[in-house]
Structures are given as structure tokens and as C-alpha cells.
């Protein structure tokens, strides 16, 4: 079998392992470099320019946590995102290797290794690297929107298809993990601005002191660390869609500034006096009940009415349980391809287990569960054990199933009784039910109380 025209870098502090790989790998790969310490890893990356790195998970003496490998994996994916990384791990560290794959590693190989398995894994990694290089990019496209067949999702899809081509400002609401960012991407894809990529901002990740600079930009010398001009998110989104995720997290002190920009359609960089016109389509999202925050003085009413021209609500997974199976099968196909696994479907036992799970984290939780299961799975059918679902995450057999809506009916009745008992005093009702006022507001709206 001819050698592949690929370059492999091995990082392992075990001299015996390096010696064995120094004999094995050159049989299949054109160039092989072996180093004992990750301290010279980044410099070797720049000089050797490998296609694939075979990275040990542990380096420090008397430490066996795998954290060293995860750290260096992050460093590699940050500075050399086009290079594929295969993790070299002991059997006891498989869980950490799985975490490494979720952070961008191509695959992992367990020590003591099987030679054909190791070579095959490195060859597949080289193939992926070549294909990415041929396409000129290693970036992944945003995930596609999965609509499902439930009535509520069909109605949402019809609404999206109507408003997407317009310039209307949209507010997407829904619990954590329902896919609000995916829906925003779908709206952008169907819009007239789809020729340029959407600009996304996680409001919760921006500190109050940096909010104005991050959103509107700054000029050189505006403050101590402003060593150069900086273009803010609004300017970056010129001619396209600006998606503000978790808009409910914006500090009250900054809401007036955001409102002014939305109203005037212009920004002024920090430290400058020049007004810059902006041309954007605005989409916001939140998992909070903004009307309650308005009543409590935590969110400006004028800003709220500026961002909710059209409101789209993404229902939780418990409201569309018929989609659990179809979504699971989609994720199995996606991750089997990504991680080069045999998995093609679900065993009957695994299928029943998925249907019994609460999925309080919604689609995001389901996706994470399936991702780990595919990585662990060694067969074509994902088994119940591969899912690693704890008993505490399951509904009791006697508990009413979500599709019967008995649980919701009971919840509504409890809230109505509490409202009657406390004469509509929301503070006392929330305290009696052991829930927050915003949660109570959302339930009152939900049940029309």
C-alpha cells in the first residue's frame, strides 16, 4: 500500500510509545515528527506544519486527569483550526476523550492500541484534512432547522415563511435549549439578506463595562486599552441580520443606548462624535418573560415594544414529544458521520428510554445525550446503556405523559386555587407555590388567568 502524502505529529512523553510509533507510522505516512513535551508543541506546529496531531491526554508526572490533553487540544484548535487532532488515551480516560471530541478532536484511540485501528483513524483524519483544504475552509455551516410534524411546529413554520422575507423586527421566545439561535439562522436564510452571514451576539457574555464598545465600537484612544479603532457588532452587521441572543440579560443602564440606536438607525463609536448610519435586520431572543420584567422595572417598556413587532414562540420538547424519535435519528446520523461511528439507529430499549425522559433541557439536552451515545456506541444500534440516562431524569411510570396534558391541567388548577386563596396577591401566590414572580407571570399568561 503506497504512503499517504501526509504529515503526522505525535506528542507523547512515553519514550517506549514514541519508539514504537517511530517504526509504525512512517510505513503509511510521508513525514512523521515525534516530540516528548507539549511545551514545544506550538513552535513545532509552525515549523513542521502537520496535517494531523496524535496528542496524548496526560503529560504531568503523577497526574492522570486528562486535563493537560484537553488544554492543549483547545490551544491547537484555537491557533490551527484546520489541523485534525486524534487523542491518545488510556481506557480510564475515555470519558475525557469523549469530551475532547465535543471540543473539536477528530477521534480518540485507546492505549494499548491496535495497529490497524490506529492507522485507519489517522488516515481518516488525513482524508478529512485534505477535503477541508480542497474546499478552502474548515468552518461548519449553521445547523439546519428541523420542523417536525407536530401541529404547533407547522403553525410556527407558516408564520416564519411569512415574516422571513420582510424587514420586521422579530422576538423569539422559548425555554433554554429549544433552538432559538437555529430558528434565527433559518429566518436569516429565508430573508432577502441571506447573501451575507448573520452576525450573532450573546448579550449575556458581554460585561456591562464593555457593552457599548462591543456593540457600537470605539476609536483609538477612547479609553486606556483602546490601542486601535474597533468596529462594533452593529457595524459588522451592515446589510445583513443582527441576532441579539438572550436580550433579557442586557443591563438596565445600557437599554437606553440600545433603544436609541434602534430608533435612530445610527451608531456613534465610543470616543467619537461622528454618527454612522446602519442598515440591519434585527432579531432578538430570550428565555425570560419580558412583560413581567417590564412590570418590575427591569426592562424598558419602550425597548420591549421596539423589539417585538412579531413574536415567535418556540415550544419546549415536552409539547412535541412525537419529535423526540425523529430528532434522535437525525442526531445519530449527524454524529455518526462526524465521529466515524457505526451507529445508524436506536434499539427498541433505547427508544423506549428516550420517550420516558423528561428532557428539561429540551433539544439541546437531547442532542448532547445522542452525541455522547454515538461516541460510546460500538454497534449499528445505539443501546440504552449508551445513552447514560439517570433514573432521576425519567418520568415515573404512573406519571401522566406530556401528550395527555394532564400535568399542565393540574398545574393550571393549582395556580387558580392559589390566586383565589390569596385574592390575586402575586407576591403571596409566588411564595406559596415556591416559584419566582417572572415564572408566575409566564404561567398566568400561558393559562389565560
My answer on whether 433 and 300 are in the same domain is: no
141 pLDDT tier (thresholds 50, 70, 90)? low
Burial grade of 116 (CB within 10 A; 0-12, 13-18, 19 or more): exposed
199 pLDDT tier (thresholds 50, 70, 90)? very high
Q: Is 430 helix (H, G, I), strand (E, B) or coil?
A: helix
Give yes or no for a contact between 193 and 238, defined as CB atoms under 8 angstroms apart: no
Q: What is the pLDDT of residues 285-299, one digit of tens each?
A: 999 989 989 998 999
405: phi then psi, degrees, rounded to nearest 5:
60, 20
How much is the pLDDT for 346?
93
How much is the pLDDT for 409?
65
Residues written for the chain: 449
Q: Could you tell me the residue range of the domain that residue 201 belongs to?
A: 151-313
How many domains in the chain? 4
My answer on whether 381 and 306 are in the same domain is: no
How much is the pLDDT for 190?
94
My answer on whether 131 and 225 are in the same domain is: no
User: Among the residues of 164-314, which ranges form H helices?
Assistant: 180-189, 211-216, 233-236, 252-264, 290-295, 301-307
- For the domain that residue 55 is a member of, what is the CATH number? 3.40.50.2300
Percent of the chain past pLDDT 70, that is, above it, reads: 92
- For the domain that residue 200 is a member of, what is the CATH number? 3.40.50.300
CA-to-CA distance for 104 and 38, rounded, in angstroms?
18
- For residue 31 the three cell numbers come to 513525514
Q: Is 119 helix (H, G, I), strand (E, B) or coil?
A: helix
186-216 as b/e, with b when 16 or more CB fall inside 10 Å?
A: bbbeebebeeeebbbbebeebeeeebbbbbb
What share of residues in the chain are helix, strand, coil (percent, to 5)? 50, 15, 35
My answer on whether 287 and 329 are in the same domain is: no
CA-to-CA distance for 117 and 123, rounded, in angstroms?
10
Residue 218 lies in a domain: yes
Whether 324 shows a pLDDT value over 60: the answer reads yes
My answer on whether 21 and 101 are in the same domain is: yes
How much is the pLDDT for 276?
94
Give yes or no for a contact between 32 and 22, defined as CB atoms under 8 angstroms apart: yes
My answer on whether 123 and 200 are in the same domain is: no
Which of the two residues, 193 and 412, has the higher pLDDT score?
193
My answer on whether 303 and 327 are in the same domain is: no
Q: What is the pLDDT of residues 268-286, one digit of tens each?
A: 999 998 999 999 999 999 9
Q: Is 53 helix (H, G, I), strand (E, B) or coil?
A: strand
Q: What is the pLDDT of residues 10-24, one digit of tens each?
A: 999 999 999 999 999
How much is the pLDDT for 65?
58
Whether 410 shows a pLDDT value over 80: the answer reads no
How much is the pLDDT for 393?
80
My answer on whether 307 and 161 are in the same domain is: yes
My answer on whether 180 and 301 are in the same domain is: yes
392 pLDDT tier (thresholds 50, 70, 90)? confident
Any idea which of 164-178, 268-282, 287-301, 381-395 has the lowest mean pLDDT?
381-395
Amino acid at each position: 500500500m503506497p504512503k499517504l502524502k501526509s504529515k503526522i505529529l505525535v506528542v507523547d512523553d512515553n519514550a517506549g510509545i514514541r519508539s514504537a510509533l517511530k517504526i509504525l507510522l512512517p510505513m503509511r505516512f510521508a513525514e512523521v515528527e515525534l516530540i516528548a513535551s507539549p511545551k514545544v508543541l506550538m513552535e513545532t506546529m509552525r515549523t513542521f506544519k502537520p496535517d494531523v496531531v496524535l496528542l496524548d491526554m496526560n503529560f504531568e508526572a503523577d497526574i492522570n486527569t486528562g486535563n493537560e490533553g484537553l488544554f492543549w487540544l483547545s490551544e491547537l484548535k484555537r491557533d490551527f483550526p484546520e489541523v485534525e487532532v486524534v487523542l491518545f488515551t488510556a481506557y480510564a480516560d475515555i470519558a475525557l476523550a469523549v469530551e475532547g471530541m465535543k471540543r473539536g478532536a477528530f477521534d480518540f484511540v485507546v492505549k494499548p492500541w491496535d495497529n490497524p485501528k490506529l492507522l485507519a483513524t489517522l488516515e481518516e483524519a488525513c482524508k478529512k484534512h485534505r477535503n477541508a483544504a480542497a474546499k478552502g475552509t474548515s468552518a461548519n455551516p449553521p445547523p439546519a432547522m428541523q420542523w417536525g410534524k407536530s401541529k404547533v411546529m407547522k403553525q410556527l413554520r407558516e408564520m416564519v415563511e411569512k415574516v422571513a422575507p420582510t424587514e420586521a423586527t422579530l422576538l423569539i421566545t422559548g425555554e433554554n435549549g429549544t433552538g432559538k439561535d437555529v430558528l434565527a439562522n433559518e429566518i436569516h436564510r429565508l430573508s432577502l439578506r441571506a447573501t451575507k452571514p448573520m452576525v450573532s451576539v450573546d448579550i449575556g457574555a458581554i460585561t456591562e463595562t464593555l457593552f457599548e464598545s462591543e456593540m457600537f465600537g470605539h476609536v483609538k484612544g477612547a479609553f486606556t486599552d483602546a490601542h486601535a479603532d474597533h468596529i462594533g457588532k452593529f457595524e459588522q452587521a451592515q446589510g445583513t441580520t443582527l441576532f441579539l441572543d438572550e436580550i433579557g440579560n442586557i443591563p438596565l443602564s445600557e437599554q437606553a443606548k440600545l433603544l436609541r440606536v434602534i430608533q435612530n438607525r445610527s451608531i456613534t463609536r465610543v470616543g467619537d462624535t461622528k454618527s454612522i448610519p446602519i442598515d440591519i435586520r434585527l432579531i432578538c431572543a430570550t428565555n425570560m418573560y419580558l412583560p413581567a420584567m417590564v412590570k418590575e422595572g427591569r426592562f424598558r417598556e419602550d425597548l420591549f415594544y421596539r423589539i417585538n413587532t412579531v413574536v415567535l414562540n418556540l415550544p419546549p420538547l415536552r409539547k412535541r414529544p412525537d419529535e423526540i424519535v425523529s430528532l434522535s435519528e437525525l442526531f445519530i446520523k449527524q454524529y455518526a458521520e462526524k465521529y466515524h461511528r457505526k451507529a445508524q439507529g436506536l434499539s427498541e430499549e433505547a427508544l423506549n428510554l428516550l420517550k420516558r425522559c423528561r428532557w428539561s433541557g429540551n433539544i439541546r439536552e437531547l442532542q448532547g445525550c445522542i452525541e455522547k451515545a454515538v461516541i460510546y456506541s460500538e454497534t449499528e444500534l445505539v443501546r440504552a446503556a449508551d445513552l447514560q440516562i439517570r433514573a432521576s431524569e425519567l418520568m415515573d411510570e404512573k406519571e401522566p405523559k406530556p401528550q395527555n396534558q394532564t400535568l399542565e391541567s393540574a398545574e393550571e388548577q393549582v395556580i387558580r386555587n392559589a390566586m383565589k386563596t390569596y385574592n390575586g396577591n402575586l407576591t403571596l401566590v409566588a411564595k406559596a407555590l415556591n416559584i419566582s414572580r417572572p415564572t408566575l407571570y409566564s404561567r398566568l399568561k400561558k393559562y389565560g388567568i
